[in-house]
Amino acid sequence: MTRVGGLAASVAPPRTVIARVESNRPLVPGIFEAVLALPSEWGPARPGQFVQLECPPPELFGLRRPFSIAGCRAVVGGVEVRIVYGAVGMRTHGLAQALPGVALRLTGPLGRPFDAMPERRAVLLGGGRGLAPVLMLAEHLGRNAHGAAILLHGARTASQLIPIPDPPCEVRPATDDGSAGFHGTLVDLLQSMSDAGELLEGRDALYACGPNRMLAALAAWSAERDLPCQVSLETHFGCGLGMCAGCAVPVKTTAGAEVSAFERFVFLCREGPVMDAQRIDWAGVHE
Amino acid sequence: MNGDAPANGADAGISRSMSGEAVPRPVLKVSLGPVSLPNPVLTASGTFGYGDEEPELTGMLGLGGIVTKTVTLEPRAGNAPPRIWETPAGMLNSIGLQNVGVDRFLTEKLPALASLGVPVIVSVGGRRAEEYVETVRRLQGAPGITAFEINVSCPNVKEGGLEFCQVPSAAAGVVEAVRKVTRLPLWAKLSPNVTSLGTVARAVAEAGADGVTVANTFVGLCIDIRTRRSRLSAGSGGLSGPAIRPLALARVRDAVRAVTIPVVGCGGITTAEDALEFLIVGARAVQIGTASFRDPRAARGVVEGIEAFLRAEGLTSVEALIGTYREEV
């Protein structure tokens, strides 16, 4: 994880702190952005890392939820962390109701970040709310000027495309129904770029976050090409700290290698959430 | 343990009451037969990994003990995902005893765990009695093990596990076999999924167990109504968390009535108040499980809360509270 100076050179130790909601608003129907105020000793976080966040109501016992970090910056008197999340279950619906000032316990930054490859152009793919961590990566790459990154940004339909008010690089939208941008999935868009000679094996690298189904398709598409592909994966987390063994992801064993049964699954909270797409045994990944 | 003690008079074991007079710090130390613990709060097996988290994050250095993730003779892959599903005030899991196996546990996990200065209770599982015996035989000479917890109650493995507890003589058979190869204290972790937990507790006590942990998870099931499939790949799982706490407490009471060996209470304990209920009913120690997932310092908070309660009640030791349940109505 030490390829790029300043990007993944070091990972800050996780801390448990009280996060205060500064703002919390819908970006598109069903997808929200929360800005959280943390104490100044927290972080810094790297693109691809996540936080475990207590979700309201706190009086009702519940597991914390993992959220990819969409942004992290030092501000006067502390650190500001952004998360982008879908209101899909009871806890995330509860979070969507949280008003400014609400205090929530948070542990992070956790997990392995994206490991940017400076010798390759970055092609970033963000599907739905999966845009958040790759947009953060694009912002870091932009600053560090490792080539001109390009961000492919997908959603089911135009109204679900998360706005990017201040794009750090070229952005190409795609929608499944063709209501905005390219008509098709992000993998379809990649294929069309490849056909047009806009994607170069041996020169480009892929970084993606989105629904597991999209990531599986991307892994299959990139498997036979010289296009390294890192994906930020999602699964159910119990603790996010490697204690519960709940977030198992099946991984491929090297052909012919003698491995212990224990190596069949890795814990996504520790080995991920960003993993090499070709390491994952996608047949065993649930949607 | 530096820095873990409360600052107020901690050095001399003395603190000041509201009126300024010196009052002794309550004694949290408990003994469970041959096992002596600095306080009655342990982590439950499978909820704290191998204790290789950062101590700062988990507060583990102030705990009464760490019960490890269950170790088996051979490495185990565990069950396919999804393995967990949250339920009202609880969670279902079907991890399936994923673990590195006893040999790697000995070389890679135990030394660091033993160096923490916190009592280590190694949880041992297996398909057949012989596997428990061989696992314990390999472990028992290693430095840093305070006791073994014999897991005869895992609901998430096809062979062994829960089925041992459903036949009291089978659970007793495992304990009896393991007893022959180690002098270290043995606790048997029992299943609540039985008609009479007291009967199983008596059977393992007669077979030589030094204590019983009551209890493991309750078998549960959640279904995705859209796909008509279980939320867990393995089908059913084990229910834990506050949802089961009153059920576990009643079973702890049953065990306390049934046996004279120490009972360790476990099931949905999240706060010091929860833990105190178990101690009052007669558990000599408690284990914190699912609560650690939500707050990795939960167990530490329980230790601090117990101490605060003893002070508030004017009790000099936790022993003075254990078993003080007033059963008459």
pLDDT in tens, B43-81: 999 998 787 777 778 888 899 999 999 999 999 999 999
* Confidence check: pLDDT of B10 > 50: no
**Structure tokens of A274?**
């960003």
Active-site position among B154, B165, B222, B266: B154
**Structure tokens of B180?**
């022959």
Cβ A63–B57 below 8 Å, yes or no? no
- At residue B174, the pLDDT reads 96
Residue B48: which residues within 8 A CB-CB, separation 6 or more? A243, B58, B60, B66, B67, B68, B69, B292
A39: preceding bond cis by omega (within 30 degrees)? no
pLDDT in tens, B158-181: 777 777 888 999 999 999 999 999
Cβ A246–B296 below 8 Å, yes or no? no
What residues does each domain of chain B span?
A: 14-320
**Structure tokens of A251?**
């991984």
pLDDT in tens, B105-155: 999 999 999 999 999 999 999 999 999 999 999 999 999 999 999 999 988
Find chain A residues with C-beta within 8 A of B242's C-beta.
61
**Structure tokens of B14?**
């003395």
Cβ A236–B84 below 8 Å, yes or no? yes
CATH number for the domain harbouring residue A81: 2.40.30.10
Distance CA B44, CA A237 (A): 18
Within-domain flag for A262: no
The segments of chain A whose pLDDT lies below 50 read 1-8
Bridge partners for B24 per DSSP? B14
Find chain A residues with C-beta within 8 A of B241's C-beta.
61
- At residue A258, the pLDDT reads 61
Within-domain flag for A52: yes
- What angle do the packed helices B245-258 and B197-206 form, to 10 degrees? 50
- At residue A276, the pLDDT reads 97
Distance CA A140, CA A149 (A): 10
* Residue B266: active-site member: no
Find chain B residues with C-beta within 8 A of A285's C-beta.
81
Q: Which residue segment(s) compose the domain that A73 sits in?
A: 15-110
* Confidence check: pLDDT of B9 > 90: no
Q: What average pLDDT does the segment B91-95 reach?
A: 96
- At residue B58, the pLDDT reads 84
Q: How far is A198 from chain B (nearest CA, A)?
A: 37
**Structure tokens of B62?**
């102030």
| Number of other residues whose CB lies within 10 A of the CB of residue B242 | 20
pLDDT in tens, B282-312: 999 999 999 999 999 999 999 999 999 999 9
- At residue B327, the pLDDT reads 86
pLDDT in tens, B207-254: 999 999 999 999 999 999 999 999 999 999 999 999 999 999 999 999
Within-domain flag for A255: no
- At residue B22, the pLDDT reads 63
**Domain count of chain A?**
1
A109: preceding bond cis by omega (within 30 degrees)? yes
Residue B164: which residues within 8 A CB-CB, separation 6 or more? B152, B153, B170, B171, B174
* Confidence check: pLDDT of B5 > 90: no
**A97 with A104: CB under 8 angstroms?**
no
Cβ A248–B297 below 8 Å, yes or no? no
Q: What average pLDDT does the segment B252-259 reach?
A: 98
Kindly give the pairing relationship between strand B65-67 and strand B120-124. parallel
| CA torsion through residues A9, A12, A14, A20, sign | negative
pLDDT in tens, B176-206: 999 999 999 999 999 999 999 999 999 999 9
Q: Which of A16, A244, A248 sits opposite B297 (nearest CB)?
A: A16
3-state secondary structure of B93: strand
CATH superfamily for B14-320 is: Aldolase class I (3.20.20.70)
Distance CA A265, CA A70 (A): 27
Within-domain flag for A3: no
| CA torsion through residues A60, A64, A70, A74, sign | positive
| Number of other residues whose CB lies within 10 A of the CB of residue A101 | 9
Q: Which amino acid is present at B90? A: G
**Which secondary-structure segment (H or E) carries B247?**
helix B245-258
Distance CA A13, CA B272 (A): 28
| Number of other residues whose CB lies within 10 A of the CB of residue B36 | 12
Cβ B293–A107 below 8 Å, yes or no? no
